Amino acid sequence: MTESAAPPASGPQVEPCTLTEILLITPRRHSDARGYFMEAYNEDAFRKIGVSCRFIQDNQSLSAQRGTIRGMHFQTPPFAQAKLVRVLQGAIFDVVVDIRSGSQTRGKYVSALLSAQNGRQLFVPAGFAHGYCTMESDTVVLYKVDAPYSRAHEGGLVWNDPEVGIAWPEQAEAGTLLERDRQFPFLHGLLDHF
């Protein structure tokens, strides 16, 4: 006797964000007694909801400590990256800040809770700084990118810029920040890369 094939996947759900370029995406899960099946990424389905970049690499990180802050990172052109972020284990408070020069929403941010349980993903186009705080210990984050890593094109925005005013969760532990991340400039000091 053979197992029945997984049901055909249907397109993901998209929730609107205050920054319209940012997409909060929830792939559809098909559940049964064994658990669930889902298409975490399907190029055609994602293209239909507005994600038209071509991802070339998957990156994965483990944060052992609850309250770990990573961010606020970006890469500058010609290595600017779009990202599709999801959580494989645990949960994060995920944050995206508009850093585009001339943008009417420059300095505004969007935040969302992404977890292995809720299956949500955040699409972050180039021109936005990205970071997160882990809400659970041993959180594993996977993100797809559409350009390779380039140390010479690394950039960042300081995580606690009062002009941006990110409402980080109370468990955010500034002691977990890398020294490099502490030294990132404030929004008013960022060069116009985008």
DSSP structure string for the chain: --PPPPPPP-PPEEE--SSTT-EEEEPPEEEETTEEEE-S--HHHHHHTT------EEEEEEE-STT-EEEEEEE-TTS---EEEEEEESEEEEEEEE--TT-TTTT-EEEEEEETTT--EEEE-TTEEEEEEESSSSEEEEEEESS---GGGEEE--TT-TTT-----TT--GGGS-HHHHTPPPGGG-----
Active-site residue among 109, 130, 132, 143? 143
Active-site residue among 30, 73, 153, 193? 73
- Rounded to whole angstroms, the Cα distance separating 192 from 180 reads 20
Q: Is 132 a catalytic residue?
A: no
Q: Is 30 a catalytic residue?
A: no
- Tell me which residues are annotated as active site: 73, 143
